Amino acid sequence: MNIKLSLITVLAVLLSACTNQATGQKERNVKLATTLDSVSYGVGSDVGHNLQMNLQQAGLDSLNLDALFAGMRDAMDSTERISSEKVKEVVQAYMMEAQKTMMAKQQAEADVVRQEGAAFLAENAKKTGVNTTASGLQYEVLQMGKGPKPTAEQTVKVNYKGTLINGKQFDSSYDRGQPAEFPVNAVIPGWTEALQLMPVGSRWKLYIPSELAYGEHGAGADIPGNSTLIFEVELLDIVK
* 65 lies in the same domain as 127: no
Residue 49 CA from chain centroid, whole number: 19
Following DSSP, what letter does each residue of 99-149 receive, concatenated?
HHHHHHHHHHHHHHHHHHHHHHHHHHTTSTTEEE-TTS-EEEEEE---SPP
The CATH code of the domain that includes 163 is 3.10.50.40
* 138 lies in the same domain as 225: yes
Q: What is the pTM for the complete model shown?
A: 0.63
> Is 90 within the bounds of a domain?
no
> Is 48 within the bounds of a domain?
yes
Beta carbons of 128 and 138 less than 8 angstroms apart: no
* 58 lies in the same domain as 132: no
Domain C-terminal end among 37, 60, 81:
81
* 234 lies in the same domain as 121: yes
Residue whose C-alpha is closest to residue 210's, from 193, 196, 221, 224? 224
The structural domain count of the chain equals 2
Residue whose C-alpha is closest to residue 203's, from 147, 163, 154, 164? 147
The residue range of the domain holding 173 is 115-238
In tens digits, the chain (240 residues) has pLDDT values of: 444 444 444 444 444 444 444 444 445 567 888 988 888 888 878 877 787 777 776 666 677 777 777 777 777 777 878 777 887 888 788 878 877 887 888 788 888 888 999 999 999 999 999 999 999 999 999 999 999 999 999 999 999 999 999 999 999 999 999 999 999 999 999 999 999 999 999 999 999 999 999 998 888 888 988 999 999 999 999 997
CA dist 73 and 20 (Å) reads: 9
* 130 lies in the same domain as 73: no
* 119 lies in the same domain as 203: yes
> Is 87 within the bounds of a domain?
no
